[in-house]
Amino acid sequence: MPVIFDNPAGFWALLGIPALLLIHTLQARSRRTASSTLFLLDRLAPESRGGWHWERLRSSLPLWLQLLFVLVLAWVLVAPRWIRPDASQNIVVVLDSSLSMAASLDESRAQLPARLRQMESLAMRTEWTLLESNPRAPTLYRGDNLSQLSSALNAWEPALGQHDIVPSLQLASSLVRGAGAVVFVSDHIRDVPEGAALLSFADPMENCGFIGSGVEEKDGQTVWHALVRNHGSATRTFSWHLAVGTQTSTPQSLTLAAGETRALQGFFPEGTDRLTVVLQPDKFSLDDQLPLLRPQPKNLRVALQLSGPELPILDRVLRGIPHLQTAASLEQADLRISRREPNAPPAPPAIPSIIFPEENASGPALQGWVVAEKHPLVNDTSWPALACTHAAGITSQAEDTALVWRGETPLIFLRQENPRPAPPALLFNFFPAQSNAPKLPAFVILLRRYIETVRAALPGFEARNADTHQLLPLAFDPAKGNLSLKIGDTSRPLTAAQAGVFRAPARAGFFQILQNGQPLLDGAAQFSDVREARLTDCAVADTLVAREKSIVRATSAPDPYRPFWLGLLLALPLLTWFLLRRRS
């Protein structure tokens, strides 16, 4: 039966062996001895004279007894346990999917298998499960072969920003039956649920990287901006350069103090739609490259069929929105802004609409507080300051989605007039011109958000910069062919369902969505998650010891001879003492 040691620290007791040998090598203090035969001793060649502090180690029974005592003491202290032949355990390893793990992935790949091999020795059979904390990710490995688990670990790469790890750890806990443990592998000290252990192999690291970017048109030229931040704790000097295709600019030096952020900017070279700003590589490479595209938004054609006091308001709002065109005719429009009886069926064509009430409409006096629903169009906007006294008398229907209420009356709501996936119409149940809505940022924001929603749902080519892993729902015409995602030289098909929840790649770089071979979206994914880039908080951790102890107790039996060893521990000093006393 294999033996394991419940308290490996007990092996420190073996240091007593060299200590004992050292003590026995030290020359003992001279004993005073009267002699009448020293003249006989004088004739013999002296082997060792006084004054030497060291001497050759001499074998003696007390020495061997003392060495045996140290050995037995070490054996008792390490608390050996014998693994039962039928002992098995379940170990579920959960990898932290946070992108910061990329910086210490090499260390994790190198050290985690060795640490797990130690755990493997706690039972005769170990069932391994390798998960990642991304709850949507599939199981990476399940089986009893640690080498295959290591292979799965080597093929894995983190892909998420900050996220909740608890669901994956709860799932992992449910997979542990009998003896076993949940091991969460991260690079930071994280709070893990009871019963789970934390492993981290990452030391604090310095890191400089991009934290944001922007592209704007200025004086007829396209200007890019990039923010570079030193996330570390020390001043750092590094170089950066531009890469356009296969050409690179002259590297320039940049010195940033700890925590300092510096803005870089430049023009897009003539005839170039994409470039990459490259920093000198460091341990965390995800934020060392900033791919940038010359944005090319979809143009939105608006049919403004509005008169009355709301017209200047809408005109002012629309003029502030780029890439917006006035449609030559209603048939060519992508968005209609009109005034009509809302309960009447919409006139063709079936396009999204912003609908204001008829000028002669009237409704009841409004009472109560103005509150906004939780909806992407009104989230994080303030509506309580909206002052409107009377509603327009529009009756909301059951399937309508109210956005803003006053009292019991919906003031703004959405109505699905056209079949999905066409965006719903935005209806106003009050007269903005008779309220202070034009002065409210929330009102302008609502209009802009709605217009951008309509633009996003509009099929057509677009070039844009996006954050890594940013949700980019694709608007496309299924009748025009299949979609595919192209990153670098690799391409893979996209289903319609995947296109609806498409996210930018997790790694910074250029990508392209093609439909039937024609580009639908040119994208540049940029890493900008500051939380993941701060690596000075990384720390090495290992809280497995407590879990290992409980596993050991479940899979092994204690040494049956422990009472004998304890008795021997008592007897050996007494015997040594007796021998030394007799000799003295």
Partner 1 sequence: MNDHAIRTAAQTAQAAFRLPLRDSTWRGLHGQFAGQGSGSSLDFQDHRPYFPGDDPRHINWQAFARTGNYTMKLYRQEVSPQIDLLIDCSPSMFFDPAKAKRTGELALFCAESALRLGAALRVHAVDASAVRLVAIDQLLGGKWLPAAEISSAAKSAAPEKLALERAPFRHGSLRVLVSDLLFPAEMDGLRLLAVNQGRGIVFAPWCRAEAEPEWDGNHLFHDVETGAKERRRVTPSLLRRYTEAYARHFATWRDAARRHGVRLARLNCTNDFTSTLRAEALPVGAVEPCQ
Q: How far apart, in whole angstroms, are the C-alpha atoms of residue 232 and residue 205?
A: 7
Near partner 1 by CB under 8 A: residue from 182, 369, 446, 583: 583
The residue (of 9 and 34) whose beta carbon lies closer to partner 1 is 34
Least CB distance to partner 1 at residue 53 (A): 11
Near partner 1 by CB under 8 A: residue from 6, 17, 19, 30: 30
Question: Diameter of the chain by CA atoms?
Answer: 140
The residue (of 66 and 126) whose beta carbon lies closer to partner 1 is 66
DSSP 124-174: SEEEEEEEES-TTSPP-EEES-HHHHHHHHHH----BSS---HHHHHHHHH
Least CB distance to partner 1 at residue 35 (A): 5
Number of residues that bind partner 1 (CB under 8 A): 27
Binding mask 435-474 for partner 1 (x = CB under 8 A): ----------------------------------------
374 touches partner 1 (CB under 8 A): no
The residue (of 34 and 479) whose beta carbon lies closer to partner 1 is 34
Structure tokens, 355:
């609908």
- Cβ proximity of 129 and 184 under 8 Å: no
Structure tokens, 410:
């919906």
The residue (of 45 and 570) whose beta carbon lies closer to partner 1 is 45
Q: Which of these, 272, 362, 321, lies nearest to 451 by C-alpha position? A: 321
Q: Which of these, 97, 107, 126, lies nearest to 204 by C-alpha position? A: 107
Near partner 1 by CB under 8 A: residue from 9, 28, 114, 398: 28
Q: How far apart, in whole angstroms, are the C-alpha atoms of residue 337 and residue 391?
A: 19
Q: How far apart, in whole angstroms, are the C-alpha atoms of residue 50 and residue 282?
A: 64
User: Which phi and psi angles does 205 have, rounded to 5°?
Assistant: -130, 150
Ranges within 58-97 binding partner 1 (CB under 8 A): 58
The residue (of 35 and 360) whose beta carbon lies closer to partner 1 is 35
Ranges within 32-61 binding partner 1 (CB under 8 A): 32-41, 43-44, 46-52, 55, 58
The residue (of 37 and 253) whose beta carbon lies closer to partner 1 is 37
The residue (of 63 and 223) whose beta carbon lies closer to partner 1 is 63
Q: How far apart, in whole angstroms, are the C-alpha atoms of residue 92 and residue 101?
A: 19
Least CB distance to partner 1 at residue 24 (A): 11
B/e letters for 14-32, b = 16+ CB within 10 Å, e = fewer, are bebeeeeeeebeeeeeeee
Pairing mode, strands 353-356 and 335-339: parallel
The residue (of 27 and 162) whose beta carbon lies closer to partner 1 is 27
Least CB distance to partner 1 at residue 42 (A): 8
Q: Which of these, 383, 426, 422, lies nearest to 406 by C-alpha position? A: 383
Contacts of 134 (CB under 8 A, 6+ apart): 97, 159, 160, 163, 168
Least CB distance to partner 1 at residue 56 (A): 9
Binding mask 256-295 for partner 1 (x = CB under 8 A): ----------------------------------------
The residue (of 35 and 495) whose beta carbon lies closer to partner 1 is 35
Q: How far apart, in whole angstroms, are the C-alpha atoms of residue 409 and residue 117?
A: 66
Near partner 1 by CB under 8 A: residue from 3, 20, 29, 567: 29
Near partner 1 by CB under 8 A: residue from 7, 27, 343, 367: 27
Contacts with partner 1, residue ranges (CB under 8 A): 27-41, 43-44, 46-52, 55, 58, 583
